[in-house]
Structure 1
Amino acid sequence: MSEDAPTAVYLAIYIITFLIGFPNSALALYSCINKIQRKPIPIDIFMLNLAISDLIFLTFLPIKMKEAADNMVWNMPYYLCHFHLFVFFLPVYSSSLFLTAISAERYVCIAFPVKYKSPKRIIYTVPVCVGIWVIVAVSFIFVYKAAYIDSDEADNTTNQRPLVTEPQTCYSNFTEKQLRELLPVRLGLAVVFFFLSLLTCCFCYISFIRILLKCPFINRQRKLRAIGLALGTLLVFASSFAPLNISHLVGFINKKNPEWRMTALTLSTLNACYDPIIFFCISREMRRVIKVCAKAFFRFYANLKGQFTQNNK
């Protein structure tokens, strides 16, 4: 697909992501809170922040749905364009860092089991999470500034061109001056939040698998499940964030936005569907919560069916 592909495809992806991701992310948040209240460990703190990141993204995803339904014409108040950029891109980049932190935690868990159980480690986890949010937010300010300001103006006044160079669109058309400022910033984001994070995840999970295979006291079934989860997480990370960040690299090389950038951006939203799968595989608490919810649903369905049958007699 390219940018002239039917926007109905983008709308369908947004709707599927919202319907699947929102309830599962809410369950993940609930299970993380329950687990932390009982016995907090560092990986639970990172998973909690990942769930919050996904919920922020999914809560405001209907703005993207509205844009796609209007054939990418911006028919909403102009200030929402700026706001939705923040709540759309902030969770995308924060998710990549929290997934990286989770991969590091899983590596430390098996490589240094004694240190991992130290209660002092939980003290350092919260500042790390706060640091991730701050880093992503500050990075977005650079993107926002680069897209807004024509810094090459000869006069000394601050000339702010609108982020939306055509009033009917949002964050799609830029002047040449804006692109000269924006493309290097995007490349920096791709290097820090994707390529370095991907290398870190690869190192952690490959080391995790190597150590796991050498452990004689772990049965084969548990090893295969852990290896499958590690490889699956890497696949989710790459498939979710690679298209968008590769578009940053291609855009920097070609000095323009790739025609398929909108498709790459849309595919990155699917990460909100994949993250709950990781929660389900890692967290025993979330599996328990899902079982409880499933039993309650089937009990409600059985009662409703019984009442319906009695009324028809």
Structure 2
Amino acid sequence: MAWTVGLSKLVLAVYGFTLITGLPTNILAFYTFFQKVRQRSTPMDVLLFSLTISDLIFLFFLPFRMVEAANMKWTMPYFLCPLTGFIFYSVIANSVLHLTAISVERYLGVAFPIKYRLKRNPRSAVIASVIFALMSMGHCSIVYIIQYHHYFNPNTTDPSKRNTCYEEFSKEQLDILLPIRLELSVVFFLIPFIICCFCYIQCIRILSRLSAVNIKKRYRAIGMALGTLLVFVICFMPFNISHVDGFVNSHSSKWREHALLTSTLNACLDPFIFYFSSSALRETFKKVLQGLVTRLLVPCCGSALCSSLFNRGKPEVRTQSSDDSIL
């Protein structure tokens, strides 16, 4: 990939937007799920907490990629190059697996509400999260393998002396990399996407037949299903299509960097999926929003009027259930 001024500005804009919107919302989600996991957690809480940690790690390494885009070349210590690439691709793969597990958990809670509630265990979600992390890191270790392939060959340029990061590949490197990218697109996109489609379509069908389900809860479930599928289509599909294109045409696609940009948006879209998944997070968001609005309105209208605005039409406070397993 050849850096241009236009591409540099585009990358900085997308990464900056992701960082500005994703960091505060994920920190808020981290605080909420951390409190729930410490108290009475469900498998959903554990999965959402693990996914939030993954997104925060991703956002922490995002500025390194922004520096590269700003300079239009790699100017930082070279050991950060494979590390940032490894984190980037591992988190993307890890997010896909977590979103798939969340869809399965939702389906089981809707299709088998009594049986699943009796058998579910947060420990199984912890084990699944560890397995997802190991799978993602194991597959994406190819970044290190390719970066230092033929490292001791005297005819090969020392990677640390280049000003590019994970971009220039020899034919020997592509012979290793392209089939693995194709395998990644199958394991970390195609199969999970099929599972998510099945689970959420079934959830919507079941909920549409249950007249006793509150209309708001039904809309939240549909919103979560559509939101997750949109994340797959918008964030993950273009990047994985580039894997297939590269394998078929035996080259690293020139538009792959543009496809990677959509994948980074996942870190700022995940909290919106969390919103539909957790009543605790909805309450936290509401409190934060009310606090911000109060700070803005108090100087203008007074605390008494602000309080009346927030409490107008507010129903009687009920004890919040920690169980979000079905809706």
Compute the TM-score of the two structures, normalised by the length of structure 2: 0.84
Q: Which runs of 5+ in 2 are unaligned?
A: 302-327
Q: Which residue of 1 aligns with 2:176?
A: 181
More moved, 46-55 vs 114-123: 114-123
Instruction: Please show how residues 41-52 of structure 1 align to structure 2 within 5 Å.
Output: 41-52=42-53
Paired with 1:56 and 1:12, the residues of 2 have a C-alpha distance of 20
Q: Which residue of 1 aligns with 2:211?
A: 216
Instruction: Answer whether contact 1:149 1:161 (CA < 8 A) is retained.
Output: no
**CA shift at 1:298, angstroms?**
3.5
**CA shift at 1:116, angstroms?**
2.3
Q: Which residue of 1 aligns with 2:16?
A: 15
Paired letter, 2:166:
Y
Paired with 1:16 and 1:219, the residues of 2 have a C-alpha distance of 35
Q: Which residue of 2 aligns with 1:154?
A: none
Instruction: Answer whether contact 1:3 1:261 (CA < 8 A) is retained.
Output: no
**Helix, strand or coil: the match of 1:118?**
helix
Paired with 1:17 and 1:125, the residues of 2 have a C-alpha distance of 27
More moved, 243-252 vs 221-230: 221-230
Distance 1:11 1:215, change over 3 A: same
Paired letter, 2:63:
P
Q: Which residue of 1 aligns with 2:77?
A: 77
Say whether 1:111 aligns with 2:128.
no
Distance 1:254 1:165, change over 3 A: farther
Distance 1:165 1:77, change over 3 A: closer
More moved, 4-13 vs 39-48: 4-13
Paired with 1:10 and 1:210, the residues of 2 have a C-alpha distance of 40
Distance 1:86 1:287, change over 3 A: same
Q: Percent identity?
A: 40
Paired with 1:26 and 1:301, the residues of 2 have a C-alpha distance of 22
**CA shift at 1:221, angstroms?**
4.1
**CA shift at 1:303, angstroms?**
6.5
Deviations 1:60-114 (A, max 9, x none): 100011111112x011111111221122111111001000000101000101111
Q: Which residue of 2 aligns with 1:127?
A: 127
More moved, 210-219 vs 23-32: 210-219
Q: Which residue of 2 aligns with 1:232?
A: 227
Instruction: Answer whether contact 1:240 1:268 (CA < 8 A) is retained.
Output: yes
Paired with 1:298 and 1:123, the residues of 2 have a C-alpha distance of 39
Q: Which residue of 1 aligns with 2:313?
A: none
More moved, 111-120 vs 208-217: 111-120
Instruction: Answer whether contact 1:57 1:91 (CA < 8 A) is retained.
Output: yes
**CA shift at 1:268, angstroms?**
0.8
Q: Which residue of 1 aligns with 2:261?
A: 266
Q: Which residue of 1 aligns with 2:321?
A: none
Q: Which residue of 2 aligns with 1:296?
A: 291
Paired with 1:292 and 1:110, the residues of 2 have a C-alpha distance of 29
Distance 1:123 1:161, change over 3 A: farther
**Helix, strand or coil: the match of 2:254?**
coil
Paired with 2:210 and 2:158, the residues of 1 have a C-alpha distance of 55
Distance 1:166 1:199, change over 3 A: farther
Distance 1:118 1:160, change over 3 A: farther
Paired with 1:168 and 1:37, the residues of 2 have a C-alpha distance of 46
Paired with 1:162 and 1:243, the residues of 2 have a C-alpha distance of 32
Compute the TM-score of the two structures, normalised by the length of structure 1: 0.88
Instruction: Answer whether contact 2:150 2:156 (CA < 8 A) is retained.
Output: yes
Instruction: Answer whether contact 2:85 2:143 (CA < 8 A) is retained.
Output: no
Q: Which residue of 1 aligns with 2:310?
A: none
Paired with 2:139 and 2:21, the residues of 1 have a C-alpha distance of 29
Paired with 2:238 and 2:68, the residues of 1 have a C-alpha distance of 21
**CA shift at 1:301, angstroms?**
4.2
More moved, 165-174 vs 91-100: 165-174
Say whether 1:138 aligns with 2:138.
yes
**Helix, strand or coil: the match of 1:78?**
coil
Paired letter, 1:103:
S
More moved, 207-216 vs 18-27: 207-216
**CA shift at 1:212, angstroms?**
1.3
Paired with 1:150 and 1:242, the residues of 2 have a C-alpha distance of 32
Instruction: Answer whether contact 1:106 1:208 (CA < 8 A) is retained.
Output: yes
Given candidates 246, 255, 259, the residue that maps to 2:241 is 246
Paired with 1:194 and 1:140, the residues of 2 have a C-alpha distance of 14
Paired letter, 1:268:
S
Q: Which runs of 5+ in 1 are unaligned?
A: 152-156, 307-313
